[in-house]
Amino acid sequence: MTFDNCISYLGLRTLLALASLLTAIPALTAAEPSVLRDDDRTNGSSTLEALGNIPQGAIAATIRLGASRTHAVPGVIVSPDGYILTAASEAAQRKPLRAYLTDGTAVDVREVKEDDALNLLLLKIEGASLPPVKWGESASFKIGQWVFSMTGPSKEIRMGVMSARRRAIPDSGAVLGVRFGVDDAEVGVTIEEVADDSPADTAGLKAEDVLMAVNGEKVFRNENVARIISAHRPGDILKLRYSRKGAESDCEVKLASKQHVVMNWQGEDFANHGVSLRTDNFPEVIQHDLPLDPEDIGSALFDLEGRAVALNIARVDRVTNYALPVESFLPKMTKWMEEDRKKNSPKTASAVGE
């Protein structure tokens, strides 16, 4: 590939950033350890310096949502009157939800709309005046193009590149996160192993528990459980009845995607801080390699001008994240806000009360 072709494919700004990055990295001496510092395992200071100043609007438009400021996920301020967008599956694990403003103030939020197909949750802070995100467009994005997101309570910057073409992610099915033993229990099915951080683990199930019923239906063989679960999707809640050392108990589990559980069983959870509860069944995604954790999902994906081009929707593995392109949800989101404003306007409320 010629230099002119490189400019055409990657863009002059990207090439200049890479050149600056390479010259900014100091050479190792014999006395220096040949390992990365902890902060350089995400984004080193040289990377951030090479790519210039991050637009402040991207920082201001990011907000924290959760039961506390630390037990929270990011959201994106999408309108001045207080509407916020985030990932539904991640926010559901941090309830009761409150919004944490830049000054640390916690305020109540109202749920406006949850969209299962896109895994989106729209919330509203009443009486708010907030700095909204600036929208861009993702249709012209190319593989190798730089993107960034804001993460963590302190809104740290994480940078990376678009790493694959836009595509649909098919449904791989929902799982409980257990392995069953031989069908030798007189009543129910014996659990042989429970995957770490799986729905079953979160619900408190343990090896040697005997699963007796799912959603009120008694189960006697592995196939009975598989049939019931196959009719559900990641995020669905099932009611289980089980026996532990002769004592019967009930619990609820929220099913996860197969990818989430398989990765954790293979040690991926230990290696890279976890996998999102839902990682599949999306109509279209942008794939990128930002160093994110599951609790960073729900943040906006920005171009270098500070325009939001997508919403981070799933962390799949150490080098793979999915983001919904803005074109896939912006029209729907705009409609949800318009309907909510109309429903909750003073004029409408007065008419209802007459």
End-to-end CA distance of the chain: 72
Are 236 and 115 contained in the same domain? Answer: no
**Which of 225, 260, 295 is at the close of a domain?**
260
How big is the CA angle at 346 (ends 342 and 349), to the nearest 5 degrees?
80
| 348 within domain boundaries | yes
Are 147 and 255 contained in the same domain? Answer: no
| 329 within domain boundaries | yes
pLDDT surpassing 50 at residue 350:
no
Q: Are 142 and 6 in contact (CB under 8 A)?
A: no
Question: For residue 162, which of 327, 321, 7, 43 has the smallest C-alpha distance?
Answer: 321
pLDDT value of position 21: 55
Are 165 and 285 contained in the same domain? Answer: yes
Range of the domain at 184: 174-260
What is the Cα–Cα distance from 69 to 63, expressed in whole angstroms? 10
Enumerate the H helices of 188-255 as residue ranges.
199-203, 222-230
Are 154 and 57 contained in the same domain? Answer: yes
Are 198 and 293 contained in the same domain? Answer: no
Least confident of 164-178, 257-271, 328-342: 257-271
Are 85 and 159 contained in the same domain? Answer: yes
pLDDT value of position 339: 97
**Cis ω for the linkage preceding 26 (within 30 of 0):** no
Are 352 and 218 contained in the same domain? Answer: no
pLDDT value of position 167: 93
pLDDT value of position 151: 85
Are 158 and 59 contained in the same domain? Answer: yes
Are 223 and 309 contained in the same domain? Answer: no
Are 342 and 288 contained in the same domain? Answer: yes
Are 133 and 185 contained in the same domain? Answer: no
The total number of structural domains that make up the chain: 2
Give residue 154's identity as a one-letter amino acid code. S
Instruction: List for the chain the helix, strand, coil content (%; round to 5).
Output: 30, 35, 40
Are 60 and 165 contained in the same domain? Answer: yes
What is the CATH classification number for the domain harbouring 192?
2.30.42.10
pTM exceeds 0.95: no
DSSP string, 32-79: S-SS--TGGGT--HHHHHHT-PPPHHHHHTEEEEESSSSSEEEEEE-S
Confidence of residue 271 (pLDDT cuts 50, 70, 90): very low
What is the Cα–Cα distance from 305 to 49, expressed in whole angstroms? 15
Tell me the range of 139-143, 188-192, 261-265, 314-318 where mean pLDDT is highest.
Answer: 188-192
Question: For residue 47, which of 12, 22, 29, 27 has the smallest C-alpha distance?
Answer: 22
| 12 within domain boundaries | no
What is the CATH classification number for the domain harbouring 74?
2.40.10.120
pLDDT surpassing 60 at residue 170:
yes
